[in-house]
Amino acid sequence: MVEKNKENSIGQVFTPDFVAEFMVKNALHFISHPDLKVLEPSVGEGVFLTHLIRNKIANITGYEIDKKLYDIISKKFPEIELKCDNFLNMNGSQKFDLIIGNPPYLGQNYNAEIFQDYVKKFPICSQFFVGNMDLFYFFIHQAITKLKPGGILTFITTHYWITKSRKTGVKLLKPHVLEECFLLQYVDLSAIKLFKRAKGQHNCIFVMQKKTGKEKRESANKSIEVIKIIGGNGKSYFDHELNHQIFRDLIDGNHSDHVISYVSALTNNDLSYSGSWNLLYPQEVRHIVSRIEKYCMNDNKIQYMKDYFMIRNGIIFIQDEIFILKRDKNFQIKDNEFYVKIDDKFIKILECEKSRLKKIYKSRAIEPFGFNKNNYLGYGIYFNKNEFIHSRLKIRNEKYEMTYPVLTAYLKQFEEQLKKILINAKENPLDLFFPRRGAFFKNSNEHDGQELIDGESLYESGNKIFFKYISEENVFGFSDGPYYATSDTYFLWKKNHSEIIDYPFIIAYLNSKIAKFLFKAKNIVIKRSKTKIEYGLPIPNLSLFHEEEERSIILVIRLLSNYVMFINNNSLSTSYIEKILSISYFSTHQGERLKKDIADAFLSNDKNHFIKIIDILFFQLFKLDERIIDSLQQRYY
């Protein structure tokens, strides 16, 4: 594990002794024979060497790039074949039975020069370089090439390379691993912090075995053992004593409340060359997921979010501080008149200019089934390029200045600053009045081909679902009226214009405990990337529910969801309860039991009360036991 260092560009963060002890003993369960040939590619303080020697391993080669550490280690371990060189520079035909260690970690995005230098110097880096990768990827590539068939590789790294998918730095890593190796064991350490001062800790230990020629020819398969570490309070934090005890128990083979182990439902042959590897997937969880997915089939394929919606960010202004007007800073409202600050004075805008001011929300405003209408950031200045689309650019801007004189005068105070930002972004500096992104976006699908969609009409009216662009929970908001949001919000826009989307049912499903379970089971974590939710969250196909009771449950869900979406609209509440309770579902035994709950929910007008009832209905619809779902989530997640 490394981080940037002023002195030599790469400064080490060393492995705790108890982690190295576990990794050595654990590796020897997978491979052990006389004269075992071992390599440690990033020796550091020599903690792995210590435990290899204690386990009577004599034939050890080590690499250390730091000259000071090399001098210390060479004196401390004179019996080791130690090289003061970069492991990535290793050549020759020498192969090893076991390669073990903690390779350096350094992101390529912020260290481009280092990676360029490595690509020039080392053939392995030239062969496997990909943008947006990490330095330890090169170490995995190199280690694979230096293993004997049947040999074992075990590293401690961040787990991002396991969970990352399409269009990331794993483009060449995962194919190389799957072509050459079996993944035998995955130790998930993401619930604890092992390195006190290192950043970006979501760590794992993995054990791989290099395939033999016969195993490659026969497309042999192997299962994957999972060991999941659970933190003290469910949150990742640094606690040296707890970490030490957890690994002590692992080393001694003792039962621990902080450790779960099982065989993953995914085998090596299930792993994708380009997709995320959801290894934390017990068989009993997979069984429940399969039962849900059978209701999400279309033409013998599971239909996912990507099949219904295109997912796009909200609006990116050239600069938020300028384009988003905030009260008492650069904006005032008095007697329903709007004023903007120009040259230290507040100037009243024209009536026609009010339509160009939109309430702007950040993702914090999103709530299940809706959003907090009062939690807006300010008023965004939103001009639409299409208004004078047939004019030449310079004339177009002049028309905006004539039509909206006060708002454009306000923006022109910052003209040089805005133009500079646009030029640096390689965009047209004449577009200083307009959002940089999110106002228009491309839609590609097999029905309509590729088209450029004007986002304003979608933000302004019509049904829209949205969610946070960084989230581990299934919280989906909804609006059928104006909702303009910044880029930390993802919007679900209908992919096919002719497709009929049952929004009340879909928003209820997305916010349900069923979807929450799927998020955990399929490791759907949204961190600026939408791939996992696009390709991981299955969407029910309502045409597969044939029974009268099923159709009746769907109708109740739809009506309750519709009420929750518009719960503040009192006009809906007067006759709604009679309409719902007249549905045939309530003549069934299950329906009779829910009648009182629904009546109480309408009396309290509490959104959470309705959501609980909707969850009960979803479990009935999917024929699942809520207690089993709760038990699985508590046990594994």
Nearest to 102 by CA among 205, 193, 32: 205
527 confidence band (pLDDT: 50, 70, 90):
confident
Check which CATH number belongs to the domain holding 226 and give it: 3.40.50.150
If asked whether residues 276 and 350 sit together in one domain, one would say: no
If asked whether residues 476 and 593 sit together in one domain, one would say: no
Q: Is 91 a member of any domain?
A: yes
Q: Which residues contact 123 (CB under 8 A, 6 or more apart)?
A: none
- Is 211 a residue whose pLDDT tops 50? yes
Q: Cα separation of 17 and 45, whole Å?
A: 10
**The pLDDT of residue 577:** 82
Residue type, 267: T
Q: Cα separation of 278 and 272, whole Å?
A: 10
Q: Cα separation of 268 and 483, whole Å?
A: 45
**The pLDDT of residue 604:** 86
The Cα-based distances of 372 to 221, 365, 609 in angstroms read 51, 5, 18
Q: Is 304 a member of any domain?
A: no
How many domains, in total, are found in the chain?
3
**The pLDDT of residue 198:** 67
**The pLDDT of residue 451:** 79
If asked whether residues 320 and 256 sit together in one domain, one would say: no
If asked whether residues 468 and 572 sit together in one domain, one would say: no
H or E stretch including 183?
Answer: strand 181-188
H or E stretch including 366?
Answer: strand 366-367
User: Poorest-confidence range of 127-136, 147-156, 161-170, 261-270?
Assistant: 161-170
**The pLDDT of residue 1:** 41
If asked whether residues 350 and 204 sit together in one domain, one would say: no
Residue indicated by tokens 């194919």: 175
Question: What six digits make up the tokens of 184?
Answer: 């035998």
- Is 450 a residue whose pLDDT tops 80? no
Q: Is 15 a member of any domain?
A: yes
Q: Cα separation of 560 and 583, whole Å?
A: 12
Question: What six digits make up the tokens of 470?
Answer: 């960084």
If asked whether residues 145 and 190 sit together in one domain, one would say: yes
Three-state secondary structure of 584-603:
HHHHCHHHHHHHHHHHHHHH
Q: Cα separation of 82 and 77, whole Å?
A: 9
Question: Of 262, 281, 300, which one is at a domain's C-terminal end?
Answer: 281
- CB-CB neighbours of 87 under 10 Å: 27
Q: What is the mean pLDDT of residues 505-517?
A: 98
The Cα-based distances of 238 to 105, 396, 467 in angstroms read 19, 57, 30
pLDDT in tens, 291-312: 999 999 999 999 999 999 999 9
* SS3 state at 510: helix
Nearest to 319 by CA among 396, 462, 433: 433
Task: Answer with the residue of higher pLDDT: 63 or 499.
Answer: 63
Q: Is 114 a member of any domain?
A: yes
The answer to whether the beta carbons of residues 62 and 43 sit under 8 Å apart is yes
Put the strands of the sheet holding 59-63 in their side by side order: 81-83, 59-63, 37-40, 96-101, 147-158, 203-210, 181-188, 225-229, 259-263
* SS3 state at 371: strand
The answer to whether the beta carbons of residues 229 and 204 sit under 8 Å apart is no
**The pLDDT of residue 447:** 55
**The pLDDT of residue 78:** 93
Q: What is the mean pLDDT of residues 537-563?
A: 95
pLDDT in tens, 156-210: 999 999 988 767 789 999 999 999 999 999 999 988 988 876 666 789 999 999 9
User: 55 lies in which domain range?
Assistant: 2-281
Question: What six digits make up the tokens of 267?
Answer: 């085998």
**The pLDDT of residue 169:** 86
If asked whether residues 457 and 553 sit together in one domain, one would say: no
Residue indicated by tokens 């943008």: 131
If asked whether residues 133 and 189 sit together in one domain, one would say: yes
Q: Cα separation of 63 and 83, whole Å?
A: 5
The answer to whether the beta carbons of residues 272 and 166 sit under 8 Å apart is no
If asked whether residues 266 and 349 sit together in one domain, one would say: no
- CB-CB neighbours of 110 under 10 Å: 8
570 confidence band (pLDDT: 50, 70, 90):
low
Three-state secondary structure of 548-587:
HHHHHHHHHHHHHHHHHHCCCCHHHHHHHHHHHHCCHHHH
- CB-CB neighbours of 292 under 10 Å: 20
* SS3 state at 172: coil
Q: Cα separation of 580 and 611, whole Å?
A: 15
Q: Cα separation of 501 and 351, whole Å?
A: 37
Question: What six digits make up the tokens of 103?
Answer: 């390779």
Q: Cα separation of 629 and 571, whole Å?
A: 37
Q: Cα separation of 487 and 313, whole Å?
A: 5
Task: Answer with the residue of higher pLDDT: 285 or 255.
Answer: 285
Backbone angles phi, psi at 325, to 5 degrees: -85, 135
Q: Residue 1 gets which letter from DSSP? A: -
Backbone angles phi, psi at 323, to 5 degrees: -80, -25
**The pLDDT of residue 444:** 66
Q: For the chain, what percent of residues have pLDDT higher than 90? A: 76
H or E stretch including 156?
Answer: strand 147-158
Task: Tell me the sheet residues that pair with 346.
Answer: 341
Q: Is 524 a member of any domain?
A: no
Say what the pTM is.
0.88
pLDDT in tens, 454-494: 999 999 998 999 999 999 899 999 999 999 999 999 999 99
**The pLDDT of residue 569:** 56
Q: What is the mean pLDDT of residues 126-136?
A: 93
User: Largest Cα–Cα distance in the chain?
Assistant: 88
Residue type, 527: K
User: Poorest-confidence range of 129-133, 415-419, 557-561?
Assistant: 129-133
Residue type, 440: F
Q: Is 519 a member of any domain?
A: no
The answer to whether the beta carbons of residues 148 and 210 sit under 8 Å apart is yes
If asked whether residues 471 and 580 sit together in one domain, one would say: no
If asked whether residues 274 and 379 sit together in one domain, one would say: no
**Helices then strands, each counted (H, E), the chain:** 24, 30
Question: Of 238, 265, 281, which one is at a domain's C-terminal end?
Answer: 281
Backbone angles phi, psi at 511, to 5 degrees: -95, 5
**The pLDDT of residue 394:** 84
If asked whether residues 75 and 179 sit together in one domain, one would say: yes
Residue type, 549: E
Strand 181-188 with 376-381, pairing: unpaired
Q: Cα separation of 173 and 46, whole Å?
A: 27
Q: Cα separation of 442 and 107, whole Å?
A: 31
What does the radius of gyration of the chain's CA atoms come to, in whole angstroms? 29
- Is 7 a residue whose pLDDT tops 80? no
Q: Cα separation of 371 and 381, whole Å?
A: 21
